[in-house]
Structure 1
Amino acid sequence: MTHCDYHGPEESLVRRAAITLKLCDHWVNGSLVAAPTSSLPAPVGGVRNWDYRYAWIRDAAFAVFAMRRIGFVGEADAFLGWVLDAFEQSGRPRIMYDVDGRPVPDEVEDGELEGYRRSGPVRWGNGAADQRQHDIYGEVLDCADQWLRSCGDLQPDLWHSLAGLADLAGQAWRQPDQGIWEVRGEGRVFTYSAGMCQVAVDRAAAIGARLGLPGQVAAWRASAERLRHLILTQSWNEEARSLREHLDGSGGLDASLLALPLRRVVPADHPRMVATTSAIADRLSAGGGLLYRYLHDQSPDGVPGDEGAFLLCSFWLVDNLVRQGRVGEADELYASLCARASPLGLLPEQIDPSTGGFIGNFPQAFSHIGVIASGVNLTRAKAGATA
């Protein structure tokens, strides 16, 4: 771990999280799997058993962003090259690939295996691979912007590809998709997806203006501002006093909205974001600082049964509290989440709120990303407070 540049809260666990992400990373080509396991149930006895041994564009982008912040800059370079090559080979952007950039196999159930603790079905492949998820445009453009700010070399063909993704994002946000949580029911215009399309056009405008590149810089900038305004106005539900999961203000609360300030879509201290943060912390609470992604009776996802608390959402809450100046609360929550790690410093996708037990695929890249990103945010906030 000679590249690790982190000195802050839970330093040993942050280093362990970085090692875990590196072990999920394909060191040759830059891809990164969401988890090295398949079909570990969430919860035990349920049917939410998925194969996570593939490279999601979203998960990998979150990972390289977190790793960059603690000194691992080469990972972002490798990932960007890998994902654009994968897009070109597949003829269109897909949400996930295998580690070699090939299509993910069709999802099948293995009737010969009973599953972990007899929680079948065991699945190989992933049926979400062909879903429409518009956030991938923002993930790639955001990664490219970070890379170029650290002196990456932008070739004309690369800019042509990035500009094309921005153009797609400028239209895609109007169309229903399956969202970050990969619902297996009817698509909707999700607020988070629209927010990541905003990220795509915003970063394209920033790159084009900064480097004097050809492209629709003014149109992208106008589109970014329009989308930011739409998110703050149209997804706001006055009765609920919060932003909602769908851009028309309908649907339930969605913990993914906590990620919007982290991608600079809306300010964390905007009154409507502050209200949304409080609503999510209160109404999606699973107790003990844990959060559900959403409530299934308000946000049906097309899969039977409930699930546990999703760890990354609680780390997002830490980050919002930090940005809202509530550093003491954030520090306390962060410590409680880190205390849930196994003796080896590993975390699952979800926690069973009733027992504290680990559920879902393990170890989960998303959860270790949260350990790193929130640790960095807390460290910087504390340094600012004492400066």
Structure 2
Amino acid sequence: MSLWSPRRHEGYPPIEDYGLIGDGRGCALVGRDGAVDFMCVPRFDSPPVFCALLDRHRGGSFLLTPDRLQSCRQHYLQDTGVLVTELRADTGTVQVTDAFVLEPGAHLEEDTPAGKGQLVRHALVTHGTVDLRVLIQPRGGAEARRDAAGWQLACPGQQLTLHLRASRPLPDPRSTLRLHQGEEVWLVLQWSQPHDVHQNRRIDEEITETVRAWRRWSAYVVDDVPQADLVRRSAITLKLLDHFENGAIVAAATSSLPECIGGRRNWDYRYAWIRDAAYTVFALRRIGLPMEAGGFLSWALTAAQQDEHPRVLYDVDGRPPPAEVIDEELEGYRRSAPVRWGNAAAEQVQHDVYGEILDCAFQWAATGGRLDGRLWHRLADLAEQARTAWKTPDHGIWEVRTHGRPFTYSAAMCQVALDRAARLARRLHLPGDLDTWAAEARRLAGCILHDAWDERSNALTEHLGPGGGIDASLLALPLRRVLPADHPRMIATTRAITSRLGAGDGLLYRYLPKDSPDGLNQPEGAFVLCSFWLVDNLVGQGHVDEASALFDTVCSYASPLGLFAEQIDPADRSFLGNFPQGLSHVGLIASAVELARAQRGIRPELSTHAWFQ
């Protein structure tokens, strides 16, 4: 944990200079400079209280930092979601501990509501004397007035009232406090009702109990995997993105962090994708977290029953997200407009959702979940829809904003829908045309091998029929048991993806926009998840040493806190896209598990020998 000088690009800290804290309802990003520059409470998808990350002038922030800051560094308290920032000025050093505190006696392993609706910030001067700046400025301003406990901040733009308490007199929400070595100050920002029965508890006790709750939960995460510390941090990150009350896991903590600086690839990821559920559940089950896996499965299957044609994403309550709108007031991170709230992809046609839902149901049943008559009727209907849907264009896994195409990944997931429906019907003696489903699944797998194959590229391509580009999503076909990783055409496709989409040093683009038009005609960074998919394919093809080296290389790109964004800029290894990105961490976990199995001599699950067992 080395000290770093505060860094800025066009007035903005690098994305990788932030840490995530949360309580299973909302969350915040805390910068290495001591600023809370993004915070959405009381829910992940609430309007942000602070979003200087998206506009340094108008976004608002909660700053706690010394005057004349010279250097800084961060770390999490081991195996927790509690963040510590050390800030060094020319006259002294202050250590700031940040946490969304949990209810006394909270048990995260029970996945019950645990947050108190409080951000606690504790500043302790460890050396010298520090003039500590306190600045609380919500987006759009706030009407501040004193009350018996401290300050009330009415935030009309968020329809929220914040309550600020401090252990020292705070003349104003904008104040400077002189603190000497050994002196401390506690600041508590609360958005829930402030008059609860635990109001008189000492704040340090609440931090201690929060640390204890996190460590009790973290002890369930397996450690016999490569890069065990990063796997545990990935698990904690996913838990911080987990809506404890119903098991939904949002894709990322943020909205509109750009996939290309200065570009328009800016999306709101504060929602839960059905697609993510199947990947996430597979990974969480294998590292000792069946409760979280089951919660996300239950949420996904419940949400999917609400619409005749299931959506690809929902809010944490399983409802359609709000319509996508552009926020004209905010300039965007490093002036990368537009800033968007809501996500129009919820209205897209994406045929892979059939397979995602049936795969969730398959995993649900495999872990003892019950498929009642109503749910099975719905699942059987989705399998029937998948029989024909794959023949028609859709917008695909990458949610392109052009006219649809018959994407190979979408057809493959329709194959998954038919295969899983047949297996469920056979194993659980459920009604349905299981022989037809099974036959159609086999036929569709053959169709993918034939119709997506391009002799000139010597690879499977992005869509069925001629003219498709190389697409890294096809690395997921073995993960979903559509094709074995060691099938000759998957081996050739893996080579083509590595050659054509390689961005250097283990990084991969998901596709090239010039070959695979997506409606934006702009570059983007390398997609972290795709590199982990490549690791899994190499394991399935028997190249364990090569896979292990690639895994270690990709893990080396994690932030100093062990976090990943959605993408990495190959030019300088800086982060791009929303942050932290759940699927990047899911990919890390899944690859670690595959490598651990291979290194123990267990034959790969993704290769031909284990196919369709």
Return 325-334 or 63-72, whichever deviates more. 63-72
Q: Which has the higher helix share?
A: 1
The alignment partner of 1:342 has SS state of coil
Residue 58 of structure 1: aligned partner: 275
What is the distance in 2 between the residues matched to 1:250 and 1:182? 19
Shift of residue 221 of structure 1?
0.1
1:248 matched to which residue of 2? 465
User: CA separation in 2, counterparts of 1:30 and 1:170?
Assistant: 30
Aligned to 1:375, what secondary structure does the other structure show?
helix
For residues 211-360 of structure 1, the aligned pairs below 5 Å read 211-360=428-577
State how 1:356-371 maps to structure 2 within 5 Å.
Answer: 356-371=573-588
Q: 1:71 aligns with which of 275, 288, 291?
A: 288
**Structure 1 residues 165 and 76, CA, compared in 2 at 3 Å: closer, same or farther?**
farther
**Which whole-Å CA distance do the structure 2 matches of 1:249 and 1:266 have between them?**
20
Task: Work out whether residues 65 and 143 of structure 1, in 8 Å CA contact, stay in contact via their aligned partners in 2.
Answer: no
TM-score in terms of structure 2 length: 0.62
Of 400, 407, 414, which residue of structure 2 is paired with 1:197? 414
Q: How does 1:61-140 map to 2 (within 5 A)?
A: 61-140=278-357
**Pairwise CA RMSD:** 1.3
Give the C-alpha shift of residue 86 in structure 1. Answer: 2.0
Q: Which amino acid aligns with 2:430?
A: L
The equivalent residue for 1:142 is 359
Instruction: Provide the secondary structure at the position in 1 that maps to 2:340.
Output: strand
Q: Distance in 2 between matches of 1:250 and 1:235?
A: 10
The question of whether the paired residues in 1 share the 8 Å contact of 2:277 and 2:297 is answered with: no
Q: Tell me how far 1:363 sits from its aligned partner.
A: 0.4
Q: How far is 1:91 from its partner?
A: 4.1
Q: Which residue of 1 aligns with 2:374?
A: 157
Q: Which moved more, 1:143-152 or 1:292-301?
A: 143-152
Contact 1:131–1:178 (Cα < 8 Å) also in 2:
yes
User: Could you report, residue by residue, the CA deviation over 1:22-55 in whole angstroms, capped at 9, with x for unpaired residues?
Assistant: 1111111121111010011111111111111111
* 2:384 aligned partner: 167
Show structure 1 runs of 5+ residues with no match: none
> What's the offset of the Cα at 1:113?
0.6
Shift of 1:5: 2.5
Mapped to 2, the partners of 1:296 and 1:271 lie a distance apart of 27
Alignment of 1:14 onto 2:14: no
Task: Give the Cα–Cα distance (whole angstroms) in 2 for the partners of residues 190 and 330 of structure 1.
Answer: 28
1:385 deviation in Å? Answer: 6.3
Counting matched residue pairs gives 386
How much does 1:158 deviate?
2.0
Residue 320 of structure 2 aligns to a residue whose secondary structure is coil
Distance 1:262 1:272 in 2: 15
2:598 pairs with 1:381: yes
Q: Deviations over 1:141-199 (max 9, x none)?
A: 11211221222222222221221221111121111100000000010000000001101
The 1:75/1:140 distance shift into structure 2, 3 A limit, reads farther
**Amino acid of the residue matched to residue 365 of structure 2?**
L
- The answer (yes or no) to whether the contact 1:170–1:223 under 8 Å persists in 2 is yes
| Distance apart, 1:64 and its partner CA | 1.6
The separation in 1 between residues aligned to 2:387 and 2:226, in whole angstroms, is 39
- Residue range with higher mean Cα deviation, 241-250 or 353-362: 241-250
Please tell me whether Structure 1 or Structure 2 has the larger radius of gyration of its CA atoms.
2
Q: Equivalents in 2 of 1:341, 1:164: separation in Å?
A: 42
1:24 counterpart residue number: 241
Answer yes or no: is the 8 Å Cα contact 1:235–1:243 preserved in 2. yes
Residue identity in the other structure for 1:38: S
In 2, Cα distance between equivalents of 1:6 and 1:198: 35
Mapped to 2, the partners of 1:178 and 1:235 lie a distance apart of 17
Query: Which AA in structure 2 matches 1:288?
Result: D
Richer in strand (by share) = 2
User: How far, CA to CA, are the matches of 2:289 and 2:552 in structure 1?
Assistant: 24
Higher relative contact order (CA closer than 8 Å, sequence separation 6+): 1
> What TM-score do the two structures reach when normalised by structure 1?
0.97
For the residue of structure 2 that corresponds to 1:262, the secondary structure is coil
**For residues 295-330 of structure 1, what are the alpha-carbon distances to aligned partners after superposition, in whole Å with 9 as ceiling and x for unaligned?**
111101001311010010010000000000000000
TM-superposed deviation, 1:79? 2.4
Label 1:142 to 1:6 Cα distance change in 2 as closer, same or farther (>3 A).
farther
Deviation per CA, 1:100-139: give whole Å up to 9, x if none.
1111111111111111111111111112110011111111
Give, in whole Å, the separation in 2 of the partners of 1:146 and 1:74.
13
Q: How many Å separate the matches in 2 of 1:233 and 1:26?
A: 42
Is the 2:513–2:521 Cα contact (8 Å) retained in structure 1? no
